[in-house]
Amino acid sequence: MSINNTNWQFVNFLLIIVSIPLSILLVFISRKRDKLVKVPIDRIPAISMRLLSYLIDLVILANIEYVIYKYSFYIVHDIGISTYIYLYPFVVFLYVTLSESSRLQGTVGKYSVGIIIVRNDGRRISFILSATRLILDVFFSIVFPFTLSVIFFSKYKQCAHDIITNTVVIKSQ
């Protein structure tokens, strides 16, 4: 059974309809959890800093993607494209989770603009928490894109994945 364009439009419409109340719910949850955040409000970076760090990481990952794509065909001749398809998401996963749970407390993009990721109490996040945060980030970005708007209404400028994992992005000292 194939899915035609009308069915995809209906699925997209349903996801949009679900993501709007979900965004409102996440804003209310963030307001309730604001008192749990032990980080001073003046250390919260502007949304533009988060966006700039994301763009820097995209450039870095695009270069890594190019290298993997180009050389996966030379290394494994017959299954080059399948190697690329499975290897690139794994590399992105390792890049983000290892750098966020390291002493840098963020990716190279975050480090270059001077922001870090901490738990609500100000401590460094673990590898498992970083992995959970990344999986939720990808999930909410793809399935419920309107939940990204939560950052505009959250006191501590938290996205949906930050609210759920009890993390916050702050300026490094």
pLDDT tens string 117-133: 999 998 999 999 999 99
User: In this structure, what token pair is assigned to residue 118?
Assistant: 């901490």
State which residues form the domain around 83.
Answer: 5-171
User: In this structure, what token pair is assigned to residue 29?
Assistant: 């949850």
Packing angle, helices 47-75 and 80-100, rounded to 10: 140
Alpha carbons 75 and 3: distance in angstroms, whole number = 36
Q: Over the chain, what is the mean pLDDT?
A: 84
Alpha carbons 127 and 5: distance in angstroms, whole number = 40
Overall number of domains in the chain: 1
Mean pLDDT calculated for residue range 127-142: 93
Alpha carbons 62 and 97: distance in angstroms, whole number = 17
3-state secondary structure at position 119: strand
